Chains A and B, each alone.
Chain A
């Protein structure tokens, strides 16, 4: 599987996890959006399916990071990992073809397109 596809699945998984976590926020519930339980379960199923599309070792890294930090992916800006706010080594200052993790906190790094 190409790195681009794995990266796309990881990003989608990450956004789904944020969606699930927002649903539990008291502030979100106060706003009044109604979420049906069966739909929530279907989202959890979609999450599982997505996780299966990622190579097992990467899925394991993602799940471990999520457990530890809640957010497994951190974006890179001005040479810093925005998960731990540590400066990244020179070779990680720009987007590379592989999926990289922060040498300090281990989060999966994401470079936004400009």
Chain B
């Protein structure tokens, strides 16, 4: 499974205006779905956030849920121009957000595999201080591709 292949440049926004956590999540969802479906997804994502923030630390958050509103794994990426409060586990503000929505039925559990992979890649991004390096969605996808290649080589 290649994460870069699941990323669509039109769903990568690297210049999100800083705002409330819920609003940023909502905007990212609306880049994937509209109206009632989007509302349903936002409700579930916010319920998940109530369980404990998906801000994994070092400036990265990974809001995620399954929803009837999608029929395949959908990902949106947002980077805020200034870090925002996400109640992250390390209490530090967040600037890079990977949002994942998976269908309820998910052959091969691609959702959890992808979630694990994003956590792994996110750690690489922070370790190498690459969070703010890509300037365009294309550069962002290329960077993720490169990190995945490096991770594969290490195995």
Which A residues are within 8 Å of any B CB, using their own CB?
8, 11-12, 14-16, 18-19, 22-23, 25, 27-28, 30-36, 39-40, 42-43, 46, 71, 73, 75, 77, 82, 110, 112-113
| Nearest-neighbor residue (CB-CB) of B109 within chain A | A27
Q: Please, how many angstroms separate the alpha-carbon atoms of A42 and B113 in the complex?
A: 27
Q: Are A15 and B71 within 8 A (Cβ)?
A: no
Q: What residues on A are CB-neighbors of B40 within 8 Å?
A: 8, 11-12, 15
Q: Please, how many angstroms separate the alpha-carbon atoms of A17 and B78 in the complex?
A: 27
Q: Please, how many angstroms separate the alpha-carbon atoms of A82 and B113 in the complex?
A: 23
Q: Please, how many angstroms separate the alpha-carbon atoms of A42 and B49 in the complex?
A: 12
Q: What residues on B are CB-neighbors of A32 within 8 Å?
A: 56, 119
Known: A11-B69, A112-B71, A113-B69. 9 other contacts (CB 8 A): A8-B36, A8-B40, A12-B43, A15-B40, A15-B67, A15-B104, A18-B104, A19-B44, A27-B116
Q: Smallest Cβ distance from A96 to chain B, in angstroms? A: 16
Q: Smallest Cβ distance from B63 to chain A, in angstroms? A: 11
Whether a CB of chain A sits under 8 angstroms from the CB of B6 is no
Whether A33 touches B104, Cβ cut-off 8 Å, given contacts A19-B65, A28-B112, is: no
Q: What residues on B are CB-neighbors of A31 within 8 Å?
A: 112, 115-116, 119
| Nearest-neighbor residue (CB-CB) of B62 within chain A | A33
Q: Please, how many angstroms separate the alpha-carbon atoms of A31 and B69 in the complex?
A: 24
Other-chain contact of B37, A35, A46, A113 (Cβ < 8 Å): A113
Interface range on chain B: under 10, 10 to 19, 20 to 34, or 35 or more?
20 to 34
Q: Are A36 and B51 within 8 A (Cβ)?
A: yes
Quick one: CB contact mask for B41-58 with A, threshold 8 Å, 1 for yes?
001100110111010100
| Nearest-neighbor residue (CB-CB) of B57 within chain A | A32
Closest A-B pairs by Cβ, 6 of them: A15-B44, A18-B66, A27-B112, A39-B51, A31-B116, A35-B51
Quick one: CB contact mask for B88-123 with A, threshold 8 Å, 1 for yes?
010000000000000011000100110110010000
Q: Are B119 and A14 within 8 A (Cβ)?
A: no
Q: Smallest Cβ distance from B67 to chain A, in angstroms? A: 5
Interface CB pairs A-B, < 8 A, 14: A14-B104, A15-B67, A15-B68, A19-B44, A19-B51, A25-B112, A31-B112, A33-B52, A42-B50, A43-B47, A46-B47, A75-B68, A82-B105, A113-B35
Q: Are A43 and B50 within 8 A (Cβ)?
A: yes
Q: Please, how many angstroms separate the alpha-carbon atoms of A23 and B112 in the complex?
A: 11
